């Protein structure tokens, strides 16, 4: 057996040796769902596990109390494995982040033998609040990724893929200020803030016919009046705009804003608006890194459709990471195709046998990819060259 094959066998053995602990970690997080920035239990369990396994743990990084960094080794290259562990409101782990967290922790521990033999270092980064606040964007701002050479995380899903797309995304909060009046006795005195919002919704619905088909605009009314016999003096809404690149996202911003401005003009209600501070960037899946990971997943017996990148119309803060460091965001299958993410059914899958096998395979494949990089210096050169050339998987 070659040295490289041998170390990969050892990695698989290490993860198998941690099987029960990793599953317990995953189930503990699953059974105690915590929303973004409140993930104190998940952070504690993950940090305790990593500390017990001799990684150097720092809690609260990048200005986020529930983030953490666990390092093994000191040298470069330094490979980061990202853990997410936030849950969804009312649905627990309907996005399966318990699997992501346990997989990253397991991969960190299994990578130690590679660091011991070949140098370099591995860091498990706990990144809170993926769903709602984009915690990785804060961590980028705080310089957490500055000394990192490559980043991996694995998301559970309904298929095995080495690369997914993710759209750039920005949110928009709008308010219309009108004038209250008796809706029956003196409607002519009123300025209807709800009607202003409805006009804007209709304008946006018309606009939707004439934007790129891979863009998305969606919104909800958060306030639309108190009682029907009073002309609503105030209304508010929250929108999200998504596009495949930041340039077109800016084009969409102008078009959508014009819909609100037009509604303000025709209704007489004053418009106030604010763009979300955090702009999610599209995902760039590093070509060489994705291929390595795919090969390792295949060695574990998983069938992968790697002919194309999976089109995903969601957005993730991992996109922002992928803009500054070579990154991948592959997926392991833990549920049948008819189950969709962000559902109670997917939450069940995240605690099922398939969920456990997904987490163990994700941990093994990530650590085996760490082994590829740390044992062969020319591989990292290739990964960095792909990043410089914008060579993305299936593009
Ligand atoms: Zn999600
Ligand atoms: Zn997710």
| CATH number of domain containing 216 | 3.30.70.360
Distance (angstroms) between ligand 1 centre and the Cα of 25 equals: 20
* pLDDT surpasses 70 at 1: no
- Which CATH number belongs to the domain containing residue 117 in this structure? 3.40.630.10
- pLDDT computed for residue 306 by the predictor: 66
Tell me, yes or no, whether 157 and 246 share the same domain.
no
Range of the domain at 193: 168-275
Distance (angstroms) between ligand 2 centre and the Cα of 268 equals: 41
Residues with CB under 5 A from ligand 1 (ion): 95
Rounded distance, CA 168 to CA 251, Å?
12
Distances (CA, A) of 179 to 111, 186, 193, 235: 64, 12, 8, 11
Which of the ligands is closest to the CA of residue 97?
2
Distance (angstroms) between ligand 2 centre and the Cα of 353 equals: 19
Distances (CA, A) of 111 to 119, 244, 312: 11, 34, 30
Percent of the chain with pLDDT over 90: 94
Which of the ligands is closest to the CA of residue 318?
2
Distance (angstroms) between ligand 1 centre and the Cα of 310 equals: 16
Tell me, yes or no, whether 159 and 195 share the same domain.
no
Distance (angstroms) between ligand 1 centre and the Cα of 156 equals: 10
Distance (angstroms) between ligand 2 centre and the Cα of 324 equals: 20
Tell me, yes or no, whether 13 and 161 share the same domain.
yes
Strand order in the sheet with 168-177: 216-223, 234-243, 168-177, 270-275
Q: What is the pLDDT of residues 12-59, one digit of tens each?
A: 999 999 999 999 999 999 999 999 999 999 999 999 999 999 999 999
Distance (angstroms) between ligand 2 centre and the Cα of 131 equals: 7
- pLDDT computed for residue 307 by the predictor: 63
Both structure tokens of 329: 């965001």
Tell me, yes or no, whether 32 and 148 share the same domain.
yes
């Amino acid at each position: 057996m070659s040295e490289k094959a041998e170390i990969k066998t050892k990695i698989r053995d290490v993860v198998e040796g941690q099987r029960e602990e990793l599953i317990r970690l995953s189930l503990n997080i699953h059974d105690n769902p915590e929303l973004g920035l409140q993930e104190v239990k998940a952070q504690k369990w993950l940090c305790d596990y990593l500390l017990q396994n001799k990684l150097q743990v720092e809690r609260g990084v990048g200005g986020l109390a529930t983030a953490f960094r666990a390092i093994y080794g000191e040298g470069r290259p330094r490979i980061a494995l990202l853990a997410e562990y936030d849950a969804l409101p009312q649905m627990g782990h309907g996005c399966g982040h318990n699997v992501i967290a346990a997989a990253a922790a397991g991969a960190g521990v299994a990578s130690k033998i590679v660091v011991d033999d070949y140098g370099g270092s591995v860091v498990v980064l706990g990144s809170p609040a993926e769903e709602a606040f984009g915690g990785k964007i804060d961590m980028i701002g705080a310089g957490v990724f500055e000394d990192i050479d490559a980043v991996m995380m694995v998301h559970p899903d309904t298929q095995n893929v080495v690369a997914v797309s993710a759209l750039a995304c920005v949110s928009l909060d709008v308010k219309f200020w009108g004038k209250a009046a008796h809706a029956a006795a003196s409607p002519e005195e009123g300025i209807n803030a709800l009607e202003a919002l409805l006009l804007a919704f209709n304008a946006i619905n018309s606009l939707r016919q004439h934007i790129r088909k891979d863009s998305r605009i969606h919104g909800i009314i958060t306030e639309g009046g108190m009682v029907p016999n009073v002309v609503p003096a105030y209304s508010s809404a929250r929108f999200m705009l998504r596009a495949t690149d930041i340039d077109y996202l800016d084009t969409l911003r102008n078009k959508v804003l014009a819909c609100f401005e037009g509604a303000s003009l025709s209704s007489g209600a004053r418009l106030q608006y604010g763009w979300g501070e955090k702009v999610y960037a599209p995902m760039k899946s590093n070509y060489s890194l994705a291929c390595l990971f795919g090969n390792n997943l295949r060695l574990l017996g998983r069938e992968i459709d790697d002919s194309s990148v999976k089109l995903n119309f969601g957005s993730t803060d991992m996109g922002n990471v992928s803009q500054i460091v070579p990154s991948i965001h592959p997926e392991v299958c833990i549920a049948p195709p008819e189950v969709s993410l962000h559902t109670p059914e997917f939450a069940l899958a995240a605690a099922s046998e398939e969920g456990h096998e997904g987490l163990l395979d994700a941990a093994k494949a990530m650590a085996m990819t760490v082994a590829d990089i740390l044992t062969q210096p020319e591989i990292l050169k290739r990964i960095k060259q792909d990043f410089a050339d914008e060579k993305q998987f299936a593009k």
